[in-house]
């Protein structure tokens, strides 16, 4: 295929097969699991995934890759083991999969993570920009601690598993990457309403909570970025 990289689709491609193997081994596919891959591109992860006895669905908006995958994996498609959806993942209605995997475009990483968290799934393995991974797992009181950390932290447990050099990709991007694990967890809050509350608080992250919202409890003098997730939920439920 003539590589005409699309900036619009955030196309940098993993060239290190050992990293692809590592990601798939982190995912640990089990027999008959339904697995979703976001943004297969040339299929470096797809190829490894198809070695397992799983049902694989891949979502890719770029018709060039869809055509390439349709050709390379026609037997898997015929046997029903592989389904290729030509679409923007962000526009799909959330579904149910056992596991999700993807080396996702940097510029829409937070939208993709928020969308994944609307899915019914057990765990996801994603390759993301290193700095983005650090924002996901940031501790309260640090500059990286944000609405993204809290929103994703309520709905899941996230860990950085492995850092990947920019030199493992082509064309070489300006940033390094990290492989992260997302494990979905149960939560008991209206996430849409809570997120609106977070947007308001974190838009003034250095102001005292009592000067942002009508709250006069024990955390009034704290700043939003200083509170743990549980403390933010407490403020939300009392305001
Ligand atoms: C960083 S590249 C990774 C490609 C391949 N998985 C790899 O590791 O080499 C991101 C891929 O996501 C695709 N992509 C971009 N926007 C997307 C979207 N909204 N939904 C699904 N895939 C998207 C791109 O076309 C590209 O194939």
162-180: per-residue pLDDT in tens? Answer: 999 999 999 999 999 999 9
User: Which tens digits make up the pLDDT trace of 143-154?
Assistant: 999 999 999 999
103 is in an annotated binding site: yes
How many of the other CB atoms lie within 10 Å of CB of 144? 16
Considering only CA atoms, which residue is closest to atom 9 of ligand 1? 13
Measured CA angle at 64 (ends 60, 68), to 5 deg = 90
Residues 6+ apart with CB under 8 A from 68: 1, 42, 43
Q: How many other C-beta atoms are found inside a 10 Å radius of the C-beta of residue 138?
A: 18
* Contact (Cβ atoms closer than 8 angstroms) between residue 202 and residue 233: no
Q: What span, in angstroms and rounded, lies between the C-alpha atoms of 80 and 75?
A: 9
Average predicted confidence (pLDDT) for the chain:
95
Closest listed residue to residue 182, CA positions, set 205, 204, 203, 154: 154
* Spacing, Cα 237 to ligand 1 middle (Å): 39
The answer, yes or no, to whether residue 7 has pLDDT greater than 90, is no
In sequence order, the 6+-apart residues with CB closer than 8 A to the CB of 203 are: none
pLDDT digits (tens, 9 = 90+) for 9-48: 778 999 999 999 999 999 999 999 999 999 999 999 999 9
Confidence of residue 4 (pLDDT cuts 50, 70, 90): low
ipTM (interface pTM): 0.99
Q: For the ranges 8-12, 82-86, 92-96, 125-129, which has the lowest average pLDDT?
A: 8-12
Give the mean pLDDT of 96-122: 97
Span from the CA of 106 to the centroid of ligand 1 (angstroms): 9
Ligand 1 proximity of 129 Cβ (cutoff 6 Å): no
Domains of the chain: residue spans and CATH: 3-184 (3.40.50.150), 191-238 (no CATH)
């Amino acid at each position: 295929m003539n590589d005409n990289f699309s900036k619009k689709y955030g196309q940098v491609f993993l060239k290190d097969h050992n990293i692809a193997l590592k990601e798939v081994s982190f995912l640990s596919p089990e027999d008959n699991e339904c697995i979703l891959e976001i943004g297969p591109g040339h299929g470096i992860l797809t190829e490894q995934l198809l070695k397992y006895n799983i049902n694989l669905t891949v979502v890719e908006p770029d018709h060039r890759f869809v055509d390439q995958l349709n050709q390379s994996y026609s037997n898997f498609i015929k046997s029903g083991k592989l389904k290729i959806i030509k679409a923007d993942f962000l526009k799909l209605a959330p579904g149910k999969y056992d596991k999700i995997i993807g080396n996702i475009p940097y510029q829409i990483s937070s939208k993709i993570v928020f969308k994944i968290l609307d899915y019914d799934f057990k765990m996801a393995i994603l390759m993301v920009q290193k700095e983005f991974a650090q924002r996901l797992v940031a501790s309260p009181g640090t500059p990286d601690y944000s609405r993204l950390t809290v929103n994703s932290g309520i709905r899941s447990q996230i860990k950085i598993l492995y850092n990947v050099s920019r030199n493992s990709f082509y064309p070489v991007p300006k940033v390094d990457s990290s492989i992260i694990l997302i494990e979905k967890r149960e939560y008991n809050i209206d996430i849409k309403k809570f997120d609106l509350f977070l947007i308001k608080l974190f838009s003034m992250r250095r102001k005292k909570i009592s000067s942002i919202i009508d709250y006069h409890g024990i955390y009034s003098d704290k700043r939003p970025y200083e509170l743990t997730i549980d403390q933010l939920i407490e403020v939300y439920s009392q305001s």
